[in-house]
Chains A and B, each alone.
Chain A
Amino acid sequence: MPTPASRSRRRGSRQSGLPPALLLPAALGLGFLALPLLALVVRAPWRSLPDILVGAEVGPALRLSLLSATSATALCLALGVPLAWVLARGEFRGRRLVRALVTVPLVLPPVVGGVALLLLLGRRGLIGRHLEAWFGVSLPFTTTAVVIAEAFVALPFLVLAVEGALRGSDRRLEDAAATLGASRLLIARRVTLPLIAPGIGAGAVLCFARALGEFGATITFAGSFPGVTRTMPLEVYLALESDPPTAVALSLVLLAVSVLVLVSMRDRWLHGGLR
């Protein structure tokens, strides 16, 4: 077991082993990521900010965004945790294919996702046609459509996070619970779920952040109707043409939410839960 002294010595040697040639591109990379955010903060209309934030457009957009992102996260949790479970624990042919399918929305341009949703759930879509005919339900251009679009884009984040947590959890603990008489469902509920709770939490936070920022799939599938489907990112984009200060103010709000998300993730890291 390394003593604290030896550990710090090792850490010291690791630091001194850093090639100086890396430092410049590393600093550039950091600046590349941080400077735009700095510009946003610097150029923000701080004086008029309170007025803008209570203005007519911002309130509904912010409320809609929070509502739809929260609903999308809930939907992702309800569908994603079981899916992750099957991926992590199931032994069946085609599991790799299933995982690939789950990962597709992660790399797919969101606009394409929106088009795909439209072709499935739109009025003339594969399923949407029947929804319209049988139930009189039309999904596109409703708040439900916003939730669906956001969930479509965010679900892979949750599934991958939870699957990772499940793979990282010690299955022998489940064996131990089984020898104590617990049924599979009880083991899942009383042992596995509490053990992977930090992973689920981290996945949910990532999922929420992704849903909150969703733009492409939302505008394609749900359109941009004020108060119904016009979420914050859409509002920012539209305001940038007509009313730049509002756009900047809204961007600041989204940045603040992102920072909050990061901080909450950091708390999980501090508890050693996120792997």
Chain B
Amino acid sequence: MSGGDEGRPDEGLSADLRVDLDRLRLRLELKVRPGGVLALLGPNGAGKSTALRCLAGLRALDDGAISLAGRCLDDPARDVLVPAQARGVGMVFQDYLLFPHLSAVDNVAFGLRVAGRNRRQARATAHDWLGRMGLRECADERPGALSGGQAQRVALARALAPEPGLLLLDEPLAALDAATRMQVRSDLRQHLSDYAGCTVLVSHDPLDAMVLADELVVVEDGISVQRGRASEVARAPRTDYVASLVGLNLYRGHSRGSTVELVGGGTLTPPRPRTGRSCSRWRRRPSASTGSDRAARPATPGKAGWSGSSSTPRPCGSRWRAVRRCSRTSRPRQSPSWASPRGHRCGWP
């Protein structure tokens, strides 16, 4: 696992989620240090939301364990199951699930009231939270009168007000339109960086996940297929899904010393000769191809793929030139040089 500083095992969140559903076997290990933000990224039905419900205590594990700040929350082997209401976990649901019969401020105050604070104190704290979210003027509105962005912030304030040790965000931006989404995303990033507890968020949007999270765990069919920092995942996608997610195409081939023969035909020359592994995966930005089917590409001599994190190769005399693009992936550490199957050399400008 990458991501480095996970802290001591008794700090933060440590979870080994094992759930058997009808169509899905969830096997997911997660570790989040205090203050860290982990994103579960994956297609629908991959088990992300189930994982989140397990962490929240809305679903019991079949096996494995969850511990938060050294406290065991769920461990079927030891017959421990802390119910949701006793976990100290805040959750922001995909469509926010604000209580429609309560005003915004009473929604935020709900968790505080439940924790035993009196009405006046709870409302005062709730007003503070709404102020922090820039929603002071919406305090007395019912959820039905709030815009999507406002409702999202009320939901966040409601989840954070009882000061949970773990914050769970289920597709926090999915219900927003594109215009508000960008603003809410950067606000959310800000609030998450202010938050001292652990955060786990679920998203199917790589951009949301990469902006909001320190570490990504890509989930497919209930298991983690790749994890690491956003930039690492984007630079070296390990499955087709991850590659298409981060805007790269993936080619499989067999390493033959300094070249790689692609499965669908054509060869590639990697920046560094690869040995030892019989199968390498190659990636190429789909933007480099103009409208042609990526599956057909490797089979077309002279047009086959190329590696490099963020390049748009163009023919340049007898050479291919890869232009570095400003994109959400970072540039490779070394300037790679490689060949198209026809033998054209490619290089960074």
Contact = CB atoms under 8 A, between A and B. Distances in A.
Interface of A: 170, 172-173, 175-183, 186, 190-191, 194-195, 197
A176 B91 contact: yes
Given A179-B89, A180-B159, A181-B86, 14 more contacts: A175-B91, A176-B91, A178-B58, A178-B83, A179-B85, A179-B87, A180-B90, A180-B110, A181-B85, A181-B115, A182-B110, A186-B114, A194-B99, A195-B101
B86 A175 contact: no
Contacts of A186: 114
Interface size class of B (residues with CB under 8 A): 20 to 34
B93 interface: yes
A190 B162 CA distance: 17
A180 B158 contact: yes
Given A180-B158, A180-B162, A182-B85, A175 B114 contact: no
B100 A177 contact: no
A195 B100 contact: yes
B30 interface: no
Nearest to B101: A194
Nearest to A186: B114
Contacts of B56: 175, 179
Contacts of B88: 181
Interface string B112-123: 001100000000
B111 interface: yes
A24 to B, nearest CB: 43
A154 B100 CA distance: 30
B295 interface: no
Contact of B162 (A181, A191, A194, A197): A181
B84 A172 contact: no
A192 to B, nearest CB: 10
Nearest to A197: B101
A179 B100 contact: no
A186 B99 CA distance: 14
Contacts of A172: 93, 97
The 8 closest A-B pairs by CB, nearest first: A180-B111, A178-B84, A176-B97, A179-B91, A194-B101, A181-B114, A182-B114, A178-B85
A173 B143 CA distance: 13
A180 B154 CA distance: 14
B190 to A, nearest CB: 23
A179 B110 CA distance: 11
Nearest to A169: B100
Nearest to A191: B99
A176 B114 contact: no
B12 interface: no
Nearest to B91: A179
Given A172-B93, A182-B85, A177 B110 contact: yes
B93 A183 contact: no
A220 B90 CA distance: 58
B89 A177 contact: no
B42 interface: no
Nearest to A175: B58
A186 B84 CA distance: 13
Contacts of B222: none
B237 interface: no
29 contacts: A170-B97, A173-B99, A175-B56, A175-B97, A176-B97, A176-B99, A177-B99, A177-B114, A178-B57, A178-B58, A178-B83, A178-B84, A178-B85, A179-B56, A179-B57, A179-B58, A179-B89, A180-B111, A180-B114, A180-B159, A181-B86, A181-B88, A181-B111, A181-B115, A181-B162, A186-B114, A190-B110, A191-B99, A197-B101
A179 B162 CA distance: 10
B228 to A, nearest CB: 29
Contact of A179 (B90, B99, B115): B90
Contact of A175 (B84, B87, B158, B159): B84
Interface string B147-165: 0000000000011001000
B149 to A, nearest CB: 18
Nearest to B108: A180
Interface string B270-307: 00000000000000000000000000000000000000
Contacts of A173: 97, 99-100
A197 B102 CA distance: 13
Contacts of A197: 101
Contacts of A191: 99
B13 to A, nearest CB: 15
A175 B92 CA distance: 11
A151 B321 CA distance: 86
B162 A176 contact: no
A192 B84 CA distance: 17
Interface in B258-275: none
